[in-house]
Amino acid sequence: MVQVLAGAPRWLEAFTAAERPDLWDAVREGQLFREVWPEYNQHGNLTPRYFGQLIPRFAHLQVLFVDGRSQQVAARGRAIAFRWDGTLDDLPDGIDAVGLRGVDDPGPATALSALAAEVAPGYQGTGLSGLLVQAMAAIARDAGLAPLVAPIRPSWKDRYPLIPIERYATWKRPDGLPFDPWLRLHHRLGGTVLRSEPRSMHITAPVADWETWTMMTFPDDGSYVFPGGLAPLAVAGGTGDYWEPNIWVRHDV
């Protein structure tokens, strides 16, 4: 059982997917976390390759937060072990690259990368997202995988899709803290920015699919901003091409 961290709600229980495969399977088969992500974000070209192998291969590294009063899953943390020598040169080029290294590299894993920190709609705003980061750091420590890194998806970047991620990542509030709320939370938890990743997750699909996902029409070739997008969508020849940017953050454990 994952150790419940100081400051956690008294009703919170935490387990790995290896400890509670029944709950993990129930969540995976349901729609609990589907609303957490924009629809387009669930159609990555390569994401099935690595997300699809988290269970059972990395079940001991996946965390579930459970409401002990109702036994309902309140949050989920998904992560993957990968080989990394600790240098920026060897840091994978975003979430697709770290996911593929985690499943394809035959060498021994040395670090843990968070892939997603998801809080169910009924539990958002209760501080569980920060606790998920801390729980994944604890799992990394206990598994002998250090550090914990995360290619985070900045929560306000969709408001500024035309600003390059490299510039957005440097924005500060008047008090000197990061402008972006998710990046700010990682900062408060001791995370340090390693670098920005403009091409982290790739999504290519027919324009008809993009129109369904975004509830927009793309009548001509060109570059489009769209609801929930962190960067523009490039439309050409009936295909929409999109690269989701991320920001790499490191947590020493």
Using CA atoms, how far apart are residues 205 and 242, in angstroms rounded to an integer? 9
Average pLDDT, the chain: 95
* pLDDT at residue 82 in the model: 98
CA nearest 248: which of 76, 47, 114?
Answer: 114
pLDDT at 7 over 80: no
Is residue 99 a part of any domain in this protein? yes
Is residue 93 a part of any domain in this protein? yes
Least confident of 2-16, 33-47, 147-161, 164-178: 2-16
Is residue 85 a part of any domain in this protein? yes
Using CA atoms, how far apart are residues 224 and 202, in angstroms rounded to an integer? 16
Q: What is the mean pLDDT of residues 94-118?
A: 97
| Residue 8 pLDDT level (bands cut at 50, 70, 90) | confident
pLDDT at 153 over 80: yes
Do the Cβ atoms of 199 and 93 come closer than 8 Å?
yes
Domain that holds residue 170: 12-251
| Residue 70 pLDDT level (bands cut at 50, 70, 90) | very high
Do the Cβ atoms of 248 and 155 come closer than 8 Å?
no
Q: What is the mean pLDDT of residues 107-129?
A: 95
What's the angle, vertex CA 180, arms to CA 174 and CA 67, rounded to 5? Answer: 125
pTM of the model: 0.95
| Residue 3 pLDDT level (bands cut at 50, 70, 90) | low
Is residue 1 a part of any domain in this protein? no
- Concatenated DSSP letters for 184-251? HHHHHTT-EEEEEEEEEEEEEEEHHHHHHHHT----SSEEE--TT-SSPEEEETTEEEEEEEEEEEEE
Residue 38 belongs to a domain with what CATH number? 3.40.630.30
Do the Cβ atoms of 248 and 186 come closer than 8 Å?
no
Tokens, residue 183: 């990046």
| Residue 244 pLDDT level (bands cut at 50, 70, 90) | very high
pLDDT at 30 over 90: no
Is residue 7 a part of any domain in this protein? no
Q: How many structural domains is the chain composed of?
A: 1
Is residue 5 a part of any domain in this protein? no
Please write the tens of the pLDDT for every residue from 71-88: 999 999 999 999 999 999
| Residue 28 pLDDT level (bands cut at 50, 70, 90) | confident
Is residue 167 a part of any domain in this protein? yes
| Residue 29 pLDDT level (bands cut at 50, 70, 90) | confident
Q: How many CA atoms lie within 13 A of 133 on its CB side?
A: 21
Is residue 181 a part of any domain in this protein? yes
* pLDDT at residue 151 in the model: 98
Task: Kindly state the percentage of the chain with pLDDT values over 70.
Answer: 98
Q: What is the mean pLDDT of residues 159-180?
A: 98
Please write the tens of the pLDDT for every residue from 205-226: 999 999 999 999 999 999 999 9
